[in-house]
A and B are shown apart, each in its own frame.
Chain A
Amino acid sequence: MSADYVLETRNLIKAFKGFTAVDDVNLQVTRGQIHALIGPNGAGKTTVFNLLTKFLTPTSGQILFNGKDITAMKPAAIARAGVIRSFQISAVFPHLTVLENVRIALQRKEGNSFHFWRPQAVLNKLNDRAIELLDSVGLAEFADAQTVDLSYGRKRALEIATTLALEPELMLLDEPTQGMGHEDVGLVADLIKKVSADRTILMVEHNLHVVSKLADRITVLQRGAILTEGDYATVSADPRVREAYMGTAASEEQDRMNAEAAAAEGHKEEVQA
C-alpha cells in the first residue's frame, strides 16, 4: 500500500569512487508524520537528502513521490511537484529584503517570472500573503530589513517561511537547528511542530532532544545503510543505536585528545628549536 507513503525509496544506492555513501536504503515516509533521519557523522543523511531532491543522481534505485517515480526528474521539477528542501547552511537570499525572500517563492506560481518588461511593482500584490507568512514565523516586523542582518535563528525561520510559501506537500529539512543557541533551537522546534500540522516533514537532525520532541518516526542510518527504524522509545532502546552513537562519540573524543596531544608536542618542539 504505497499510497499511504508520501515518499518512498526502493533500494537506493549512491556510490562514489570506491565508497558507497548510501547503501540500499528503503525509506518510507508516511503522510502527515514528522519523520527524522538520524545517525552519526558521515552516515549519509545529507547524501540521502541530496538524492531525494536530485541534487545528486542515484547510482541505482528508485524514488517514489505519491507513488509516482520521480527518479529521473530534475531538481527544479521535483520542487514544483511539491517536495521542497532546506539546506544545512541557511538558505536565504542575503541581499534581498526579508519580504522579497518570501516573495521569490510566491512569485513562481504567478507565471510572470520571465516578464522582464514589466515593473517590479506587479509583485506588490503578493506582499499581503508574504507578510502573513512572515507573521506565522514571527518575522513580520523585520519585513523590510536586509536578510543579511538577521540573526542565525531568524534566518532559519525565514527559510521556513519561504518554504511554506510554496505550500509543499513534503518538506525536507536538513539539520534545521544546526549551529543554534539553546533559545533558537526551542523556537525553531516549536515552529516545525506548528507548520507540520497538515503536511509531511522529513528531517535530518543531530539534536536528539529535538528529535524526541518532534519525530513520529525515526530512521537511524549508519555507514549509508538503515540500522533500525521506529518511534523514539524503540530506537533509543536499541543497543545497536547506542553503540553507533556512543562508539562515534567515544572515538571523536579520542581523536580530539590525540590532536591536542600532537599540538602540544609540536608546540614543545617549536619552543625547543
Chain B
Amino acid sequence: MKINKFYVVMLLLALVAPFVLYPVFLAKLLCFALFACAFNLMLGYVGLLSFGHAAFLGTGGYITGWLMMNSGLTPEIAILLGTAAAGVLGAIYGKLSVKREGIYFAMVTLALSQLVFFIYLQAPFTGGEDGMQGVPRGNLFGLIDLSDNLNMYYFVLAIFLFGFWLIHRTIHSPFGQVLKAIRENEPRAVSLGYNVNDYKWVAFTISAALAGLAGSTKTLVFQLASLTDVHWHMSGEVVLMTLVGGVGTIFGPVVGAGVIVTMQNYLSGGELGNYIHIIMGFIFVVCVLAFRSGIVGEFQKVWKRNFG
C-alpha cells in the first residue's frame, strides 16, 4: 500500500512537472528512463549484461524518423513500427547471444551492435554522420499537434508509463517467476525442465523492443536521429544509469537516468562542460565502490533497517 501511495505521488509530480521545468528536458529524461528500465530487465532480472542496447535505441529512432519524414504516417504508427523493428532486431540478436553468459554475452552483444552502427553509418537513408535532421513530430492520431511541447511531453509520459507498467508486469508475471528462478539457480531451472535460453530470449526481445520504443520516442522529441544513439558510448551510458540508480530495482533506472541526464544537461552548458566525462567517471567509481546497490538500492536498505 505504501508503494502504491508512492506511485501516486510520483505520477502527480510528473503531471505538474512541465509547468515548472522545461518540457523537452523532461521528455528526454523520460526517454532515457524508459531505455534504462528496458536495459535493467536484462541486467537486473535475468542477470545478463548487454553491452549493445544502443543498437535497439538507435534502430527505433531511425525507423521512426524515416517514417515520419517519408511516409506521412501518424506518429503513433511510426513509433509502433520503430518499436517493432527494434523488437525484430532484438529477437535475432537475442537468438545469437543468449547461449553465452557473462563477459561473452556482453562481447557478442557489443559486436552485433557495432555491426548495426556501421550499417547506419553507411546506409543512405540515415544521413550518415549528419544524422536525420528536422524530423516532423506530426499530429497524434492525426488530431493532436505534437509540435506543442506540452502535448509532446504528455504523450511521452503516457508512453513511459506504458513501458514501465509492462516491465513491472513482466517481472511480476508467471514468466517473471521463471526468470527469477533462472537468475537464482540456472542449472536447477534446467533440471526442472525449463529451456532457460528460450526464457532469456523472450526477455531479451521485450527489452530490445522497449529500448526501441524509447529511441522512437526520443527521435520525435528532438526531431532528430543521429549516430550518437547507436554508438557504443550509449550502450555504456545505460549501464551507468542503471548501476547508479540501482540494478534490479524497478525504480532504480529511472532515478539513475534522472541523475545522469540532469548532470549532462546542466554541466555541458556551464564552464565544467569539458570535464563532464571525468565527473561522470568519478561518480561511477564512487557508486561501484561505495553504493554497490545504487541510489534506490541503498535507500531501500536504509528504509528497511529503520522502518521495516
Contact = CB atoms under 8 A, between A and B. Distances in A.
Contacts of A122: 174
Nearest to A165: B192
B187 interface: yes
A115 B192 contact: no
A112 interface: yes
Contact of A75 (B166, B177, B191, B206): B191
B224 interface: no
B187 A107 contact: no
B181 to A, nearest CB: 5
Interface in B153-200: 166, 169-170, 172-178, 180-181, 184-185, 187-196, 198-199
Contacts of A110: 174
Given A53-B191, A76-B193, A76-B194, A96 B174 contact: no
Contact of A116 (B170, B190, B192): B170
Contacts of A93: 180-181, 184-185, 188
Given A79-B190, A107-B178, 5 more contacts: A104-B189, A116-B175, A116-B176, A120-B172, A166-B192
B202 interface: yes
Contacts of A245: none
Contact of A123 (B166, B177, B180, B190): B177
Contact of B172 (A79, A95, A107, A119): A119
A114 B188 CA distance: 18
Interface stretch (A84-92, A186-194, A195-203, A253-261): A84-92
A222 interface: no
21 contacts: A76-B190, A76-B194, A79-B193, A84-B192, A84-B193, A87-B187, A87-B188, A87-B191, A91-B185, A92-B188, A96-B180, A113-B199, A115-B175, A116-B169, A116-B173, A118-B174, A119-B172, A120-B173, A120-B177, A123-B174, A166-B193
Contact of A108 (B180, B185, B194): B194
A100 interface: yes
B99 to A, nearest CB: 12
Interface in A46-85: 53, 55, 74-77, 79-80, 84-85
A78 to B, nearest CB: 8
Contacts of A86: 191
Interface of A: 53, 55, 74-77, 79-80, 84-87, 91-96, 100, 103-105, 107-108, 110, 112-120, 122-123, 162, 166
Interface residues of B, number: 28
A117 B191 contact: no
A95 B177 contact: no
B169 A96 contact: no
A112 B170 CA distance: 13
B276 to A, nearest CB: 37
Interface of B: 166, 169-170, 172-178, 180-181, 184-185, 187-196, 198-199, 202, 206
A122 B175 CA distance: 11
Contact of B184 (A74, A76, A95): A95
A105 B184 CA distance: 14
The 5 closest A-B pairs by CB, nearest first: A79-B193, A116-B175, A93-B184, A91-B188, A116-B170
B120 to A, nearest CB: 30
Contacts of B193: 76-77, 79-80, 84, 108, 166
Contacts of B173: 115-120
B177 A100 contact: yes
A49 to B, nearest CB: 11
Given A76-B196, A166-B192, A112 B184 contact: no
Contact of B177 (A53, A87, A107): A107
A108 B192 contact: yes
A114 B175 contact: yes
Contacts of A100: 177
Nearest to B185: A93
B192 A162 contact: yes
Given A93-B184, A95-B184, A119-B169, A107 B174 contact: yes
